[in-house]
Amino acid sequence: MGAHHHHSHSGTDLAEAAAGAMVKSGEQWTPMRAAVFDALASFDRPASAYDIADKVSADQGRRVAANSVYRILDLFVGANLARKVESANAYVANDHPDCLHDCIFLICDNCGQATHLDDDRITGGVRAAAKAAGFAPERPVIEVRGKCGECEPG
């Protein structure tokens, strides 16, 4: 199948797509979940639960605990609304929550930017190799660390 393209959402359209995906997964779209998603989507690079808690706290004028944000982020990952950048313990909003697939992150060690790639040939190969080794892959995580084009012009 190879690389594929998605209808990427942004702004209000992204929030509506996220709410729809959450409800479709059998969960409620609460005001707090909406606030956490809006905060997550506002970052231009992976954000930690603490970054998101600080943003929601500032937006709402009340303290929001990072533990509450972690629980919501775990729910978002399970519902395909967010992706976790494991090596950074940070999250990015999934701008195409209607498409479920494995993804690859290119993470800049200099500026922290994470670029999300979709290539089913690569992720399918990882899944096939895991199965051939007698392992049942549930959520392959592929992350490539290095420097982005802005930090290391080619």
What pLDDT was estimated at residue 113? 87
* Three-state SS annotation for 71-107: HHHHHHHHCCCEEEEHHHCEEEECCCCCCCCCCEEEE
Tokens 């605990």 belong to: 65
Q: What is the pLDDT of residue 140?
A: 79
Average pLDDT, the chain: 87
Q: Which helix (H) or strand (E) holds 40?
A: helix 31-42
Cβ atoms of 141 and 29 within 8 Å: the answer is: no
Phi-psi region of 26 (alpha: psi -120 to 50; beta: other; left: phi over 0): left
pLDDT of residue 9: 52
Confidence of residue 154 (pLDDT cuts 50, 70, 90): low
The structural domains of the chain, ordered by start, are 11-93 (1.10.10.10), 104-146 (3.30.1490.190)
Checking if the pLDDT of 115 tops 70, the result is yes
- In three-state secondary structure terms, 46 is coil
Q: What is the pLDDT of residue 7?
A: 53
- Mean pLDDT is lowest, of 6-15, 104-113, 125-134, for 6-15
Task: Tell me the average pLDDT across 108-112.
Answer: 91
Q: What is the largest CA-CA distance in the chain?
A: 52
